[in-house]
Amino acid sequence: MGFINGKYYRVLEVISNFFLLNMIWLLMCLPIITIFPATAAMFGVVRQWVLKNDVSVFSSFFHYFKENFKQGLFVGIGWFLLAGLMVVNFTFTNQLDSGLRNILLPVFFVMALLLLSTTIYLFPVMVQYKTSSFNIIKNSFLFSVSNLLLTFVILITIAAIGALLIVFRPSLLFIFSIGSYVIYSLCSRAFHKVEELKAS
């Protein structure tokens, strides 16, 4: 009976930790400009969970938030500008004559797909490796194109998260923290592969 109670308590603790992390992240994203540092902080916490380290959600989140604030803000602003540029490119290209539009649209689509694929590795790479912003972007891009199947699985995971948010609105209370845990767990496979290659 004691074992069952202990297991039940552990399940409740895990659920409450995901809920708390999700709510802290949502609150810290409210200023909009802090979305990137807050997301880096959330991935920092889930990285510890994936590594089986028992850490305090609240103190760990704000530790990683402070640690990644400048870099997260810098990368975030740059990424918003790139995404905005892609939107402008699509809008402008869509107004061109059909011949040129048919050439440029596939090019911009591939560029947008590469941008999206690189984005999904940004935060896992940021908390995994302490390096410059340029190296974070470069390594995220390299991970995205060298692990195409993994990248596809993560994109499907993100699409599933979006679909769940649409059909089940209460999932807003926990889906982002759980999603980040799943995404980091998947990315850690690519990280381990690189570490094994370096060790060999």
**What percent of the chain lies above the pLDDT cut of 70?**
96
H-type helices in the chain, by residue range? Answer: 2-29, 35-50, 57-67, 69-93, 98-128, 133-146, 148-167, 175-199
Neighbours of 22 (CB within 10 A): 22
- The tens digit of pLDDT for each residue in 16-37 reads 999 999 999 999 998 888 999 9
How many beta carbons lie within 10 A of that of residue 147, not counting itself? 20
Backbone angle region of 132, left / alpha / beta, with phi > 0 → left and psi within -120 to 50 → alpha: beta
Distance of CA 163 to the CA centre of its chain: 17
pLDDT digits (tens, 9 = 90+) for 52-102: 888 889 999 999 999 999 998 888 888 888 888 888 877 887 777 777 777
Query: Which pLDDT does position 104 carry in this prediction?
Result: 80
Which one has a higher pLDDT value, 116 or 25? 25
DSSP state letter for 68: T
Interval 109-128 mean pLDDT: 91
The CA distances from residue 103 to 91, 111, 114, in Å, are: 14, 13, 18
The model's pLDDT over 169-186, given as tens digits with 9 standing for 90+, comes to 899 999 999 999 999 999
36 and 72 Cβ atoms separated by less than 8 Å: yes
